[in-house]
């Protein structure tokens, strides 16, 4: 994807002085519902109206979307409001129907991104299209899988590509519905800085009261846009009721969100920033040095275990360390989630060093 710079030029066509916003209901439910929400969002910062027509559900029996009839509702909403229309596609048949109904933006959902066969089928169906095509991150935290989906679309001569960050599933429960794992999205952004990156705070949070917070985090990280589920009666929505906001709430959110500048030209400010960054670099070097020393000690412990044929993993000791570090981290203003992530990684690396010693 060497020419990713050209793939992002479609964003310039909107001529916006604010991030791109896609908004609308999780699911199109009725023609009246679609049209009412679309008219509520007209003349706001929303450029693209989004609505699910086909809804992949984790288990059978749930509402799986209204299907093809909903595309006609989107056509009517487009004609009445002038908003561009967007929906999710999961099969070549979905693509064909969406194009026939002049849908402007197609996105590939997280459950589809994990399946290279499905992505290839969609890419083949979209080959050479002038539609905007967005691909959500896969449900599992795998940057390669996300990149692979992008490459399949790129190789299908799709000229207008972008990505949606909707968070990742995790076995452990956190405050998020889908853990953001910001670093994965940042790594993708660093590889392809001109590829539009859109945040989906609705799916990351699963809670309407957290959407503004996560939206602000995304803007602070220079995301190009937001896709936010919006419903006239969220509590009675047919799908994902807890994570949808009203059009009025969305409009207030646009007022409250703070747009950040990429940088500042003030010389004194840049000097102060450079000094703090130099300090950070020094601390990072010390962290690496301390971690290296810790692994040397871990290897000595591994040697002692080898001498007496003692198991490498000592759960009681590990839980004691973890509990102690969580308490000490809290005193330093570090979240439990962060401490768990860091020390689990350190513990795994220590085990790897000990295994090398024990199995020599």
Could you tell me the pLDDT band of residue 241, with boundaries at 50, 70 and 90? Answer: very high
Q: Are residues 89 and 157 in the same domain?
A: yes
Q: Quick check: 61 pLDDT over 90?
A: no
Q: What angle do CA 123, 129, 132 make, to 5 degrees?
A: 90
Query: What percent of the chain shows pLDDT beyond 90?
Result: 89
What's the rounded mean pLDDT across residues 155-175? 92
CATH of the domain at 155: 3.20.20.70
Give yes or no: residues 325 and 211 share one domain: no
pLDDT of residue 73: 98
What is the domain count for the chain?
2
Q: Phi and psi at residue 240, in whole multiples of 5°?
A: 45, 50
Is 54 contained in some domain?
yes
Give the pLDDT score at 38: 98
Question: What DSSP string describes 238-273?
Answer: SS-GGG-B-HHHHHHHHHHSPPPPS----HHHHHHH
Residues 243 and 271 in one domain: no
Residue 261 within any structural domain of the chain = no
In a domain, 338, yes or no: yes
In this structure, the answer to whether residues 134 and 203 fall within a common structural domain is: yes
Separation CA 106–CA 83 (nearest Å): 14
Q: Are residues 319 and 222 in the same domain?
A: no
Q: Are residues 104 and 246 in the same domain?
A: yes
Give dist(CA 137, CA 131) in Å, integer: 19
Same domain, 225 and 304: no
Is the pLDDT at 105 greater than 60? The verdict is: yes
Task: Report residue 345 as tokens.
Answer: 């990684």
3-state helix vs strand vs coil in the chain, percent to 5: 55, 10, 35
Q: Which residue has the higher pLDDT, 60 or 30?
A: 30
Domain boundary residue among 234, 256, 278? 256
The confidence score (pLDDT) of residue 173 equals 79
Helix, strand, or coil here: 343? helix
Give me the pLDDT at residue 57, please: 67
Does position 128 have pLDDT exceeding 90, yes or no?
Answer: no
Phi/psi for 56 (5° steps) reads: -70, 120
Q: Which of 237, 256, 275 is the last residue of a domain?
A: 256
**How confident is the prediction for the chain on average, in pLDDT?**
94
HSE, CB side, 13 Å, CA atoms: give it for residue 304: 6
Asked, for residue 306, whether it belongs to a domain, the answer is yes
Return the axis-axis angle of helices 267-307 and 336-358, rounded to nearest 10°.
40
Instruction: Tell me if 90 is assigned to some domain.
Output: yes
Q: Are residues 203 and 307 in the same domain?
A: no
Q: Which domain CATH number covers 272? A: 1.20.59.10
Domain shared by 215 and 278, yes or no: no
Let me know: does 225 contact 195? Beta carbons within 8 Å.
Answer: no
Q: What is the largest CA-CA distance in the chain?
A: 79
- On whether both 64 and 105 belong to a single domain, the answer is yes
* Same-domain pairing of 168 and 307: no
Residue 4 has pLDDT above 70, yes or no: no
pLDDT bracket for residue 262 (50, 70, 90) = confident
Residue with tokens 């906001």: 245
Are residue 283 and residue 332 in the same domain, yes or no? Answer: yes
Domain span holding position 309:
267-358
């Amino acid at each position: 994807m060497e020419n990713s710079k050209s793939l992002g030029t479609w964003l310039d066509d909107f001529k916006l002085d604010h991030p791109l916003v896609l908004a609308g209901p999780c699911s199109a439910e009725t023609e009246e519902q679609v049209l009412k929400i679309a008219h509520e969002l007209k003349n706001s910062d929303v450029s693209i109206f989004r609505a699910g027509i086909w809804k992949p559900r984790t288990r059978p029996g749930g509402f799986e979307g209204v299907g093809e009839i909903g595309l006609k509702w989107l056509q009517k909403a487009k004609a009445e409001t002038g908003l561009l229309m967007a929906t999710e596609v999961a099969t070549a048949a979905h693509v064909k129907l969406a194009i026939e109904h002049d849908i402007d933006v197609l996105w590939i959902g997280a459950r589809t991104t994990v399946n290279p066969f499905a992505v290839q089928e969609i890419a083949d169906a979209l080959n050479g299209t002038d539609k905007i095509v967005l691909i959500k991150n896969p449900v599992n935290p795998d940057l390669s899988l996300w990149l692979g989906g992008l490459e399949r679309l790129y190789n299908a001569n799709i000229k207008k590509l972008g990505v949606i960050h909707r968070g990742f599933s995790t076995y452990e429960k956190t405050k998020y519905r889908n853990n953001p794992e910001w670093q994965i999205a940042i790594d993708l952004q660093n590889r392809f800085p001109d590829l539009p990156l859109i945040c989906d705070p609705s799916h990351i949070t699963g809670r309407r009261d957290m959407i503004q917070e996560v939206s602000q985090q995304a803007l602070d990280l220079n995301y190009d846009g937001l896709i936010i589920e919006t419903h006239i009666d969220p509590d009675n929505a047919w799908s994902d009721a807890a994570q949808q906001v009203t059009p009025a709430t969305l409009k207030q959110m646009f007022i409250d969100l703070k747009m950040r500048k990429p940088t500042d030209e003030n010389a004194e400010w840049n000097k102060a920033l450079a000094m703090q960054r130099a300090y950070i670099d020094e601390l990072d070097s010390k962290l690496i040095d301390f971690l290296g020393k810790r692994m040397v000690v871990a290897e000595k412990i591994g040697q002692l275990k080898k001498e007496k044929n003692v198991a490498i993993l000592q759960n009681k000791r590990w839980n004691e360390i973890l509990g102690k570090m969580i308490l000490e981290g809290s005193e330093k203003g570090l979240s439990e989630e962060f401490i768990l992530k860091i020390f689990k990684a350190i513990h795994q690396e220590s085990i790897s060093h000990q295994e090398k010693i024990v199995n020599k």
